[in-house]
Amino acid sequence: MSEDSRPNLYLVPTPIGNLKDITLRAIEVLKQADVILAEDTRTSGKLLKHLEISRPLQSYHIFNEHKTVEKLVQRMKAGEYFALISDAGTPAISDPGFLLVREVLQAGLDVQCLPGPTAFVPALVNSGLPNDRFVFEGFLPHKKGRKTRIEGLMEEVRTMIFYESTHRIQKTLEQFAEAFGPERQACVSRELTKLHEENARGTLAELIDYYQTHPIKGEIVLVVAGKNPKSD
């Protein structure tokens, strides 16, 4: 990578569990950044220490992004090179980043997102559900707007991907069974890339039953088949 052709901002994916999932290029970019913007400097500090990367760290998270974006763009214009990382996976995917990318581009500067770990891709592929077309729904709203979002997906024929927390999964499966029917196929991917990775596949009704007797821990992605276009 020649120093002159570097984009002003790199988005660098970091492991979602297994530390070996960092790419050689991610390490190179992080080593060359003037400043690493991190969602949580303590969490990222541990990863960077493990990778023997010692660069200035600055916090960048949903609570300060609106305030800091403009200043960061000014610093990029002045010639500083930044790398943005989140706690895990690809920044800006259900994580802070979008706002900064938009402002950097609007300022006529350059952005590049490296390919790398993200939870939804392995979950989709592991599910065994059609993956030629899919929709990424991220986190559903907890309260306001939740029902409308689910109802809006009743006619969706593409495979749907959701990020969910373990304490809400049972409720979500039940709401999905009500909206999409209990026989709809789905897959719950838990602890991807980690020691206790598990991909539980079955109908929504089977998964509801399974989690009644198997308390679920860790991080999860829920993948749900789309509506069969041949059914009414």
**Tokens 């995917």 -> residue:** 93
Residue 118 binds ligand SAM, judged by CB under 6 A: yes
Residue 221 binds ligand SAM, judged by CB under 6 A: yes
Residue 208 binds ligand SAM, judged by CB under 6 A: no
Among 65, 95, 103, 137, which residue sits at the site for ligand SAM (rule: CB under 6 A)? 95
> At 184, which amino acid appears?
R
> At 3, which amino acid appears?
E
Among 47, 83, 119, 161, which residue sits at the site for ligand SAM (rule: CB under 6 A)? 119
Closest to ligand SAM by CB, 57 or 216: 216
How far is CA 36 from each of CA 8, 212, 213, rounded to the nearest angstrom?
Answer: 12, 43, 43
Q: What is the DSSP string of 28-92?
A: HHHHH-SEEEESSHHHHHHHHHHTT----EEE--TTTHHHHHHHHHHHHHTT--EEEE-SSBSTT
Residue 220 binds ligand SAM, judged by CB under 6 A: yes
For the window 162-201, what string marks contact with ligand SAM as x by the rule CB under 6 A? -xxx-----------------------x-xxxx-------
Residue with smallest beta-carbon separation from ligand SAM: 89
Quick one: 117 exposed, middle or buried, by C-beta within 10 A (0-12, 13-18, 19+)?
buried
Residue 86 binds ligand SAM, judged by CB under 6 A: yes
Please list every residue from 1 through 20 that binds ligand SAM, using CB under 6 A: 16-17
Closest to ligand SAM by CB, 160 or 192: 192
Residue 93 binds ligand SAM, judged by CB under 6 A: yes
CB of 166 to ligand SAM, least distance (A): 9
Contact 172, 141 (CB under 8 A): no
State how far Cα 32 lies from the chain centre: 24
Among 88, 150, 187, 204, which residue sits at the site for ligand SAM (rule: CB under 6 A)? 88
Contacting residues for 161 by C-beta, under 8 A, at least 6 apart:
120, 123, 124, 134, 135, 136, 137, 221, 222, 223, 224
CB of 221 to ligand SAM, least distance (A): 5
Spatial distance between the Cα atoms of 55 and 30, rounded to a whole number of angstroms: 8
List residues near ligand SAM by CB under 6 A: 16-17, 86, 88-90, 93-95, 118-120, 163-165, 189, 191-194, 219-221
